[in-house]
Amino acid sequence: SAALDIAEIGLDTFTNGIAQELPGVKILFGLGKSIIAVRDRNFQKQTMKFFVHLHDGSITSEQFEKYKKALEEDKKRADKELSRVIILLDRITDDDKTEILASFYRAYIVNLISWERFFELSEALDRMFLPDIELIIRIAKEYQVLYEEGGYLADRLASVGLVQNPISRILIPVIGGAPPFGKIPLTLTSLGKQFVSLYFSSDIA
């Protein structure tokens, strides 16, 4: 079959020779190279912004040297922690999310949060969009934000563990009965409260 013939030829030969003659392939390869270049530039940009924000004066040189030494003495830990940050920075395209990530990492370096909590916070951040962040800040600042106002953004915040699932509020016995689903106020979980607290410490609010 054609598939077996291609497999026998080898991928390198296929991509460098035969495939180049197929209609549209040259355009596709050219576009792929452009995408890689854009991705590399974005990664460099986000990495620079991450370290600039990380070293904004909130961490003393002694605290950072202590953390650096701990990584140098434990290669497995260094690989795990730095790989996590690199993967996240490679995904991020919004500057605000990079600064928030730096704030989370800074809190971890100075032992305000555990690695497990950093992982939870960074995972939530990775799955969020900027409107989600705006909503969670609004929930923290305002006296009351109803579920119907949050809509699908509230659903996403609940799915990442930052906002209490409104369904659980309905299941809790309430004197006089529970309010209509859409009228249930959104409340932050402990993870959500920590997210907001570290967000404000990032000085980008």
For the segment 63-104, what is each residue's pLDDT rounded down to a tens digit? 988 998 898 899 999 999 999 999 999 999 999 999 999 999
**Nearest Cα to Cα of residue 100 among 202, 203, 190:** 202
Amino acid letter at 179?
Answer: P
Q: Please give the Cα distance from 107 to 17 (Å, whole number).
A: 52
Q: Please give the Cα distance from 46 to 99 (Å, whole number).
A: 9
Task: Give the tokens for residue 16.
Answer: 């460098």
Q: Please give the Cα distance from 125 to 118 (Å, whole number).
A: 10
188 forms bridges with which residues in the sheet? 163
Percent share of the chain, pLDDT over 70: 73
Q: Please give the Cα distance from 120 to 123 (Å, whole number).
A: 5
DSSP structure class, residue 178: P
Query: Which pLDDT score, from 0 to 100, does residue 25 have?
Result: 54
| Low-confidence stretches of the chain (pLDDT beneath 70) | 1-35, 168-182, 202-205
Query: Which pLDDT score, from 0 to 100, does residue 11 have?
Result: 43
- pTM metric for this prediction: 0.76
